[in-house]
């Protein structure tokens, strides 16, 4: 396994600070940002990130919502569906990444879960330096009209026993304006807690990013996030 350096980071997104954990293996071949409300602490995201690191990918797990916002969202479930807010924070985090000396030359991918997948696709539609997207149990339908503007190859992963989300992903697949595939994990429910289900997600995601992230990122144009 590649030796890895991990460090806590803090990203300024307008008047908000987003806390995260950046892990960089030796000679990384790309950077994957995890897009989820409590991404830094999610055990499922952490498991997938560890697998990606073993494949030579740097990973950034960060919280799209602050601790106070998480408390509010736990009661109202509103902020997790504020796709515009989540997208703006992801754009800010991407801008932070491309300004770091040890990250700026890496190709960028997004791994989105649940409503974070919609934010990942909405941000990818705006940012040409995003080169691949993977969604786990996501709600790509919530990206709305941004779906047709996505150019980054996109993999949608859904549990076979998650029928509502599976139907929404089938509909979104038909709208995406990029190379896209839908993978169904047999027997898996929404959170992929079944034996072997999350491992299958990690395997699919690793293969997607390895195939679609080029060795280096193109030079960002004037529209890259500040």
Within a 10 A sphere around the Cβ of 214, how many other Cβ atoms?
12
Question: Where residue 2 falls among pLDDT bands split at 50, 70, 90?
Answer: low
For residue 52 the two structure tokens come to: 């990606």
Q: The pTM is what?
A: 0.91
According to the model, what pLDDT value does residue 151 have? Answer: 97
Q: Average pLDDT in the 206-226 region?
A: 67
Q: What is the rounded average pLDDT for all residues in the chain?
A: 90
Number of separate helices (H) and strands (E) present in the chain: 6, 8
Sign of torsion over alpha carbons 140, 85, 178, 111: negative
Residue ranges of the alpha helices (H) in 130-224?
Answer: 163-175, 197-212
- The torsion angles phi and psi of 204, rounded to 5 degrees, stand at -65, -45
Question: Where residue 215 falls among pLDDT bands split at 50, 70, 90?
Answer: low
The residues that bridge with 61 in the sheet, in sequence order, are 21, 34
Residue 70 has pLDDT above 80, yes or no: no
Half-sphere exposure (CA, 13 Å, Cβ side) for 12? 4
Residue 58 has pLDDT above 50, yes or no: yes
User: What is the rounded distance in angstroms from the CA atom of residue 73 to the CA atom of residue 83?
Assistant: 13
User: Residues 38, 18: contact at Cβ < 8 Å?
Assistant: no
Q: Which residue has the tokens 């509502």?
A: 164
Q: 4-212 adopts what CATH topology? A: Rossmann fold (3.40.50)
User: What is the rounded distance in angstroms from the CA atom of residue 101 to the CA atom of residue 134?
Assistant: 25
According to the model, what pLDDT value does residue 171 have? Answer: 97
According to the model, what pLDDT value does residue 14 have? Answer: 80
Greater model confidence, 23 or 71: 23
Residue 226 has pLDDT above 70, yes or no: no
The residue ranges of every structural domain in the chain are: 4-212
Sign of torsion over alpha carbons 154, 159, 163, 164: negative
Question: Where residue 81 falls among pLDDT bands split at 50, 70, 90?
Answer: confident
Residue 225 has pLDDT above 50, yes or no: no
For residue 13 the two structure tokens come to: 């997104």
């Amino acid at each position: 396994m590649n030796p890895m350096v991990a460090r806590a980071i803090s990203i300024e997104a307008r008047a908000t600070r987003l806390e995260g954990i950046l892990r960089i293996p030796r000679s990384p071949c790309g950077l994957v940002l995890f897009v989820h409300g409590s991404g830094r602490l999610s055990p499922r995201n952490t498991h997938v990130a560890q697998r990606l690191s073993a494949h030579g990918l740097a990973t950034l797990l960060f919280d799209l919502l602050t601790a106070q916002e998480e408390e509010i969202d736990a009661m109202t479930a509103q902020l997790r569906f504020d796709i515009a807010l989540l997208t703006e924070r992801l754009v800010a985090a991407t801008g932070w990444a491309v300004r770091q000396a040890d990250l700026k030359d890496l190709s960028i991918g997004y791994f989105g879960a649940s409503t974070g997948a919609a934010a990942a696709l909405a941000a990818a539609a705006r940012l040409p330096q995003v080169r691949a997207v993977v969604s786990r149990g996501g709600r790509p339908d919530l990206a709305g009209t941004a779906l047709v503007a996505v150019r980054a190859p996109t993999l949608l992963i859904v549990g076979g026993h998650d029928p509502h989300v599976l139907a929404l992903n089938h509909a979104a697949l038909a709208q995406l304006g990029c190379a896209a595939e839908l993978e169904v994990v047999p027997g898996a429910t929404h959170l992929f807690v079944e034996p072997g289900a999350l491992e299958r997600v990690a395997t699919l995601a690793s293969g997607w990013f390895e195939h679609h992230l080029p060795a280096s990122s193109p030079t960002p144009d004037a529209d890259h996030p500040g």
